[in-house]
Amino acid sequence: MNKNVLDMIGDLTVAECILLIKDMENNFGVSAEDIQPVVIEQAVQEVVVEEEVDVVVMLTSVGEKRVNVVKAIREYTSLGLKESLEIAKAIPVQVGESMPRIAAEELKRLLEGAGGTVEIK
C-alpha cells in the first residue's frame, strides 16, 4: 500500500502536491508549519551531539603560493606578518587546536583555498 501511495504522489505536479498537503491539513486538522520548528530543533540537537570537538588542524605544506597561505594565516590568527611567516615556514605546524569540527573544516577551506595542504586530526 505505501509503495502505491508513494508512486501516486511521485506522479503529481508541484501544484498538485501543494493542494494535497493543504487538503490533508484541513482534513486531519494539522499544519506542516506547526511541526517545522520542532523538526529543525531536533536536527540541530543531533548535529550538536554528533559534532567532534578538540580537533587539531595541521598545515602540512604551503605549496607554490606561500604568500597567499601567509595571508590566510594572518586572517585566521590576527597575527602580524612576521609571526604568520614563521608559522608558514615551520611546516608541518599546528594552526588550530581544540576546535569544533565545523570550525576546523572552515579553517581547512581557508588554507587550502590559499594553496596550502591541510590535515584535520
Q: What is the CA radius of gyration of the chain?
A: 24
Through-space distance between the first and last CA atoms of the chain, rounded to whole angstroms: 48
Instruction: For 66-76, write each residue's pLDDT tens digit.
Output: 899 999 999 88
pLDDT value of position 96: 83
- The per-residue pLDDT of the chain, averaged, comes to 83
CB distance 69 to 63 below 8 Å:
yes
Output the CATH code of domain 55-120: 3.30.1390.10
The structure's pTM equals: 0.56
Q: Which amino acid, one-letter code, is at 38?
A: V
- pLDDT at 13 > cutoff 70: yes
Q: Are 72 and 117 in contact (CB under 8 A)?
A: no
**pLDDT tens across 76-120, in order?**
888 899 999 999 999 999 998 888 888 888 899 999 999 999 998
Q: In this structure, what C-alpha cell is assigned to residue 39?
A: 523538526
Q: For the residues 8-18, what does the mean pLDDT come to?
A: 84
Would you kindly state where each structural domain of the chain is located, as residue ranges? 2-50, 55-120
